[in-house]
Amino acid sequence: MEYRYSCPINNFYNNKTFAEIAHLIENQRVIRSLVLNPQFVGILNITPDSFSDGGLNFHKEDAVRNFVRLINEGAIIIEFGSQSTRPSALIINEDEEYARLENVLEELREVIKEKEVIVSIDSFTPEVIKRVLKKYPISCINLVKNNLDDYTLRLIADYNCKIITMHSLTVPPQKQKCLDFDKSPLASLNIWAEQEITKLEKYGFDRKNIILDPGIGVGKSVYQNLYIL
């Protein structure tokens, strides 16, 4: 029996078998970059409810222990987040989000300096970003939601931080909200990427400090995710 993908919304995947979809993806032109010095990133979610490690680092002692473990295992970049972005996640207030970060970053301040760890912060809360930038040596801001005001964007650029900007339709993600099925997801992402780069350069970001995240699993169907990959 041959199964064909079908969606109530008309799109270019309709009436194709899964094998045909896979073949279509495989034939796309892929550009690979050879990185001579790959860098491992360790993720520390200081939350009780994150998708992958929720609760494992929620207590300061656990977060510190896992930080040391990640460094010993070869990570040179550690990304801290204190607001879960999993589907249906509860959005906490900015004071709680900052307090979770401060509790751990303060404890690790000397270790971060001694080990020369590159610190990234995963947040989309303007006030939290402002406070951590002014108090801690932050090298990167991972922005999963396009909601920062002009002042915050200029502040990040002034600190010469890298910014990771992720394509998303809603944060936390909602299943029913996806990219347009009538066009290639790559076309939509290319338009978004050009707009993001233009906007961020206007706020003072050097192009080498802009990192684009296509947002796999956020605002895309399973097939759109595969196509992007």
Q: How confident is the model at residue 23 (pLDDT cuts 50, 70, 90)?
A: low
Closest CA to 82 of 91, 72, 73: 91
Please give the pLDDT value at position 15. 66
Average pLDDT, the chain: 84
Cβ partners under 8 Å of residue 28, min gap 6: 227
Long-range contacts: 200-208, Cβ < 8 Å, 24+? 200/153, 200/157, 200/163, 200/165, 203/150, 203/153, 203/154, 203/157, 204/154, 204/157, 204/158, 205/153, 205/156, 205/157, 205/163, 206/160
Average pLDDT of span 209-215? 93
Q: CATH topology for 18-26+38-228?
A: TIM Barrel (3.20.20)
Between CA 6 and CA 43 the distance in angstroms is 37
Q: What is the pLDDT of residues 30-68, one digit of tens each?
A: 455 555 567 788 999 999 877 676 678 889 999 999 999
Q: Read off the amino acid at residue 87.
A: P
Overall size of the chain counted in residues: 229
Nearest Cα neighbor of 208 from 147, 149, 140 is 140
The position carrying tokens 């879960």 is 84
Highest mean pLDDT among 12-16, 40-44, 197-201: 197-201
**Cβ neighbours of residue 32 under 8 Å, at least 6 residues apart?**
none
Q: Give the per-residue pLDDT at 12.
A: 57
Using an 8 Å Cβ cutoff, are 202 and 161 in contact?
no
Q: What per-residue confidence (pLDDT) applies to 29?
A: 52
Per residue in 141-194, pLDDT tens? 998 877 889 999 999 999 999 999 999 887 777 777 888 888 889 999 999 999
CB atoms within 10 A of CB 131: 18
